[in-house]
Structure 1
Amino acid sequence: MIFALCVAERRLLVFEAEVAAIAHAEDSDGTAWQFFDAAGLPLEVVTAGEHPRCFFVAPDTLYLRAADRQAGLAQRLHEVAAVQGPAPLDSVQGVRDWLRRSKA
């Protein structure tokens, strides 16, 4: 699972695959999205050109990597007004429960 938070719209999207989250990031027309992994840890969107080991990928290809010094999703859930995702990850409480179980 990948979670994407749009702070401006207070909306959280849930993607079952990283490739879908990356496609969304590529199509977001400058909208600021913050990404989190299945455990709620922050991710950042970077281009392959920023990574010295990406030899066989186009330099403008996006991917997600662990981010430092950002709050996790559990600490940001109070900002979410709407959730779009598969059940049971279709509500703030469902996401909160998921994150709690992922820590156990």
Structure 2
Amino acid sequence: MNIEQFRDYCIAKKGVTESFPFDEKTLVFKVMGKMFALCALERIPSQVNLKCDPERAIALREAYDGRIIPGYHMSKVHWNTLLLESLPPQLITELVDHSYALVISKFTKKLKAGYDAL
């Protein structure tokens, strides 16, 4: 999967917006204003950060040594950095879905109602 395919997959999800809140090189995806994915647009190889359940994050890092690492410039407990081109596309979409679901699961009642109304 390349960075454009990653972007297309993220932006197609319900309630997702994209922006550059940090700098012009880091694309951030949010659902209802809450971050679930970041892309480093100018890094070679392409890197993305995704939120992850802490126990699963450790298992993924062990299973994909060097291709999934602790989140770069993020909480090392709750975020992983993925080297995009070195992983199977199915795994990447599964991890995007996982990150998105984790964020939605933490919505307040007000955010959940807004999300449900979309």
TM over 0.5: no
Higher relative contact order (CA 8 A, sep 6+): 1
Give the number of the structure whose residues are more often helix, by fraction. 2
